[in-house]
Amino acid sequence: MENVLVRPIFGDGILIKVLTVGEFKRLDNKTVALIRLIRPQQWYKNLLVFIPAVYALSLFEYRLWPTMLLSFISACLVSGANYILNDIHDLERDKRHPSKRFRPLPSGLVSPMEALAFCFFVLSVGFLSAYLVNQGFFLTITTFFLVTQLYTFVLKRYPFVDIVTISFNYVIRAVAGAYAIEVPASPWLIVGIFFLALLLSTGKRAGELMELKEEAMEHREVLRFYTEEWVSQGLTMASTLVILTYAIYCIEVHGSRLLPTLPLAVYLIMRYNHLVRSSPDMASNPHRLFSDKGFFSSFALWLILTVLLLYLI
């Protein structure tokens, strides 16, 4: 006799559904696959909504915490819906990709219709959450969604426009965070985030070129316009812009109190360049940078020092 798992539904045994072990495991796998569709490992990007609060010295205003948390959840859900729509759009191409073929859609764990239905649910909750924050945040998150779809269906095919659009989306997240708690966003901060995003986007293209090599154009059409030489120069240019912008910000804003964090910031940029040029995996998946002890410890120290200098001095 096949083993079964009994799951009560609607209370104390009023209605009982019997699932075989195989069915239960498939249900569990489906749930995991749906969660993977919205890429929680990429949600660190949405921490940008907290940046305006940090630099506006509002991080420890407890009355703002529910708003900040709701804005973060909204950004995560809307970006998750963006990932689903992108995966549906790139389904056939992803099936031939050496690593993307293991994603839920290309691998067949989730059907396109299931993904679309889940996307509608996630997007609805994300927009509802944004509306509950305030009108400014809702409009900014809506802009974020629309720009991402414009990128997915049109702009990703155009060289340099693609990485500029990705970088602009990072800025939108930060601006959304400012709208959420109704504080002004420093122009220097916005420019700095844009240049940092430009560095990460260029690094991602570098990783794709190193990983895919001769097959790069088959998996991402725009890669035909990028060369290793240009990407290397792009990384150098973006790194320089990030360091210069951050240095000026440290000098001009908050009475130069952030100046001691500059050496750590420079080291982080240099370490990033080293890791990106030596590891295609880290270049394509920036969240894996934190598996490097040198990068992680330096980032943690920079973050702690920044908070201490801003709030305790």
Give pLDDT tens digits for 202-215: 998 888 888 776 66
Task: Provide the pLDDT for residue 300.
Answer: 96
Whether the predicted pLDDT of 52 surpasses 60: yes
262 token code pair:
């500059």
- Which is higher by pLDDT, 281 or 204? 204
* pLDDT value for 278: 87
For the chain, the structural domain boundaries read 1-37, 41-185
CB contact at 8 A, 78 and 172: no
Residue 109 DSSP symbol: S
Range with the lowest mean pLDDT among 10-14, 77-81, 240-244, 286-290? 10-14
Residue 56 sits at φ, ψ, to 5 deg, of -90, 5
pLDDT beyond 50 at 67: yes
Q: Minimal CA–CA distance to 172: which of 150, 202, 204?
A: 150
Token pair in block for residue 90: 């790139």
Those residues with Cβ within 8 angstroms of residue 45's Cβ, 6 or more apart along the chain or in another chain: 79, 170, 173
**Amino acid identity, position 123:** L
What's the confidence (pLDDT) of residue 14? 40
Q: Tell me the average pLDDT across 104-116.
A: 92
Q: For residue 24, is pLDDT > 80?
A: no
Please say whether the beta carbons of 220 and 193 come within 8 A.
Answer: no
Per-residue pLDDT of 74-103, as tens digits, reads 999 999 999 999 999 988 888 887 778 888
Cβ count within 10 A of residue 189 = 23
Strand bridging mode 4-9 / 15-20: antiparallel
DSSP assignment letter at 183: -
Three-state secondary structure call for residue 226: coil
The CATH number of the domain covering residues in 41-185 = 1.10.357.140
Q: What is the pLDDT of residue 215?
A: 63
Cα dist from 294 to 72, 124, 289, 301, whole Å: 28, 40, 9, 11
3-state SS, residue 7: strand
Alpha-carbon distance 176 to 174, whole Å? Answer: 5
Q: Say whether pLDDT at 8 is over 70.
A: no
pLDDT at 198 over 90: yes
In the DSSP assignment, the letter for residue 51 is: H
Using CA atoms, how far residue 299 sits from 56, 295, 309, in Å, is 21, 6, 15
149 has a pLDDT exceeding 50: yes
State the pLDDT at residue 219: 61
Q: How far apart are CA 153 and CA 232, in angstroms?
A: 27
* pLDDT of res. 4: 44
* 195, 174 Cβ separation under 8 angstroms: no
CA distance 221 to 157: 6
Mean pLDDT across the stretch 134-146?
Answer: 98
- Token digits for 51? 């940046």
What is the model's pTM? Answer: 0.86
Q: The tokens of 3 are what?
A: 């083993």
